[in-house]
Amino acid sequence: MDRLMVTVSGIRGVVGSTLTPRVARDFGYAFGTMLGAGSNVVIGRDSRPSGPDLQHAITAGLLATGVNVTSLGVASTPAVALMTAKLAADGGVIVTASHNPRQYNGIKFLQPSGTGLTAGDAMKLKGIWESGQFATAAEDARGSQSHDDTAPRRHLDDVLAICDVETIASKRFKVVLDSINGAGCVATPAMMEKLGCELVHLNAEATGDFAHNPEPIEENLTELCQAVRGHGAAVGFAQDADADRLAIVDENGRFIGEEYTLALAAAFVLSKRKGDIATNLSTSRMVDDLAARAGCKVVRTPTGEANVVSGMLAGNCILAGEGGGGVIEPLVVPVRDSFVAIAYVLQYLAETGISLSELVARIPAYVMLKTKQPCPEGAIDRIIDATRQAFSYQLEARLNDSDGLRIDFDDAWVSVRASNTEPIMRIMAEAPSIEDAEALVAEVTRIAGTVTGPEK
């Protein structure tokens, strides 16, 4: 199902098919038109081989609308977001498809704060792009172009400023890191050195020639798990291609699940300071249990980083994130940040003096299933309606339709929604046992099949 995805999360498509330099140039025109001539934009990219061509095309569109562009080169998403704010830019652009496979690339647009566009601004940008009505500038009013290579260092400095470097370094942790040949290769080794860690770095060259699928889920991280066991490391970390997400492997070489990244960060932060936490409707209820223990609450939002950040700011939350391995620390930059997650996990280990598996055991456990299935264009609303009707008779079911449909029970939940980044639907469930979670996913899958099956 090869189609260009244009959502609040930006655009993604298959390079050379739905996403071409012409599409990228036109989005540069559209973003420049929206911001206005004389505006300043920061642009960076992950390491994908298609990145330079797409960045050049976007830049061409921006310059043609009279926008000034500062190129950061290869940098993590949090580093680009940070520089957008530090350079007082009017907007930012990141050329990345995050966790998607190599054949994909994408473009994410940022507000001056470094956060993703609001839903309203994303729709405005899409409308300008679809109209093709671009405000190009006269030749003598074109924008100017410059380069700044300080993004990785400045971001790292801000991350280290919020953690106890001396305490972490005193433990001399052995760490295995898989940067999947992505943007994390640029600055993460320097971070490990400053934190006094003995680093075993897998897939450490920022070539974009991914050694495995870059999504940091269990099936893609067998090499990391084996390396943690083989090297007797205290922990294993896996970044995605733009280094905003983090998955963790314990000292036994066991993948603990990407949902635990936010849970561990929340447990650590709540041990230091009290406050509410923001996350989306697809994130594990582990975070709710941890917040309740601390006398705090969780602000739930629709899926999408921009929505979580909006909830974080509106609720004055001390931390935010998403269950796919994303931790958002407003003290650094209001986007997902694998560097912050690494620092907090290492400090949690250093201060408690116990193993990662023991820290995980302290967190209330649930079983979560995350499935994704093809979804014909236009079918998701009918699937949601059918699911709502099927569960509405159950008195104990609580239905939330602010993001697809989520159905909560006393100790479990199931949800169905369209992906913001792929032409698929996601059916997820969480329950105390694998059997209960599987049953919930199977029921929603069955309902979806009645809508999309051949008889329809």
Burial of 216 (0-12, 13-18, 19+ CB in 10 A): buried
| Residue 331 CA: distances (Å) to CA of 27, 54, 89, 349 | 31, 31, 19, 21
Q: How many CA atoms lie within 13 A of 198 on its CB side?
A: 10
Classify the phi-psi angles of 113: left when phi > 0, otherwise alpha if psi is within -120 to 50, otherwise beta: alpha
Token code pair at residue 425: 């639907």
Nearest alpha-carbon partner for 339 in 146, 164, 157, 215: 157
> For residues 425 and 384, is the Cβ–Cβ distance under 8 A?
no
Q: Given the DSSP bridges, would you call strands 145-147 and 424-431 parallel, antiparallel or unpaired?
A: unpaired
From the list 50, 71, 98, 415, the catalytic residue is 98
Sheet holding 198-202: strands in order across? 198-202, 174-178, 235-239, 246-249
Sheet holding 326-328: strands in order across? 298-301, 277-280, 319-322, 326-328
Cα distance between residue 112 and residue 97, in whole Å: 21
Catalytic residue check, 71:
no
**Residue 71 bridge partners (DSSP):** 43, 147
Which residues are known catalytic residues? 98
